[in-house]
Amino acid sequence: MQYRTLARTAVSAIGLGAMPLSIEHRPDEKRAIATVHAALDAGVTLIDTADSYHWHAGETGHNELLVARALAAYGGDTSRVLVATKGGRGRPGDGSWTVSAAPAQLKKAAEASAKRLGVDAIGLYQLHKPDPAVPWAESVGALRELLDAGTIRAAGVSNVTTDQILQAHRILGDGLVSVQNQYSPAVRDSEPELRLSERLGLAFLPWSPLGGISRSSLDGPSGPTSIGTAFHRLAAERDVSPQQIVLAWLLARSPAMIPVPGASRPASISDSARATELRLNARELTELETLLPD
């Protein structure tokens, strides 16, 4: 396992995106916990969750509680595991997502997340999405207050622009450690945010990192997926999964990159974790870049 820096500590270069364990089409709890344990067995020390990762109404925090139970039930050492959670979004139970990042609500949500995770302070708390009804500085200011109060140890922002990152950095200073935007072979709109994260010394956690290769967990069992891409062809040459090729490509794109692929089966995260052992040469990286969509 390779390691990269996040929240001033070393974490596995591949994390576990725990969302598929709690949303639509989620596995039963036995398989969900086995998936978290498989990640830990593979050397994964970063788990990405959020209070809004649930399916039905009234289930706020389902994924956080599940992660906490899985860690408590694990037979090995979990002291180096960083659980990163998020606040500022909701799910009313009809499949939709809402945004609510008013300062009072964020602070209340963070306190509830800490209680569900069973920690005195959250290792990394990320603002899930800017709220168009709330000035950005006010939402980020709530993170500053949470840092000062010791409710969270480090802060991050998600689904943001370069201007929003810069403003958050001015408000949070060294307390800001991460940016989590969508980034994958199919979606590379956040290239400017990735490069700014590099310059500021922030970790960049791409969500939906396998886009264009694997369907998102939100797509459901019948959702679209791709075949026959350059990633698939190189995977066949290397005798590894296309997902490993994508994750290795992401890791090669920036030292700030820490992908958190979702998984709902032990085999999936075990395979993803092995991407840190894969080194793509210059020819392979050039071929993949040339054949990517504009």
- Is the pLDDT reported for residue 216 higher than 90? no
Residue 200 pLDDT grade (very low, low, confident, very high; cuts 50, 70, 90): very high
- What is the average pLDDT across 215-241? 74
pLDDT band at 40 (very low <50, low <70, confident <90, very high): very high
pLDDT at 224 over 50: no
Within 8 A by CB and 6+ apart from 93, the residues are 55, 56, 57, 58, 59
Predicted confidence (pLDDT) at residue 226 exceeds the cutoff of 90: no
Give tens-digit pLDDT for 153-196.
999 999 999 999 999 999 999 999 999 999 999 999 999 999 99
Per-chain mean pLDDT for the chain: 94
pLDDT at 221 over 60: no
Report the pLDDT value the prediction gives residue 287, as an integer from 0 to 100.
Answer: 87
Who's near 17: CB < 8 A, 6+ residues apart? Answer: 48, 207, 260, 261, 262, 263
pLDDT of residue 264: 96
What CA–CA distances, in Å, run from 288 to 18, 54, 98, 292? 28, 35, 36, 6
At residue 229 the predicted structure's pLDDT band, cuts being 50, 70 and 90, is confident
Q: How confident is the model at residue 213 (pLDDT cuts 50, 70, 90)?
A: confident
Highest mean pLDDT among 6-10, 142-146, 219-223: 142-146
Residue type, 240: V
The tokens describing 17, both together, are 């995106």
pLDDT 10s digits, 50-85: 999 999 999 999 999 999 999 999 999 999 999 999
**Active-site residues: which are they?**
53
pLDDT at position 223 is 46
The mean pLDDT of 232-253, rounded to a whole number, is: 95
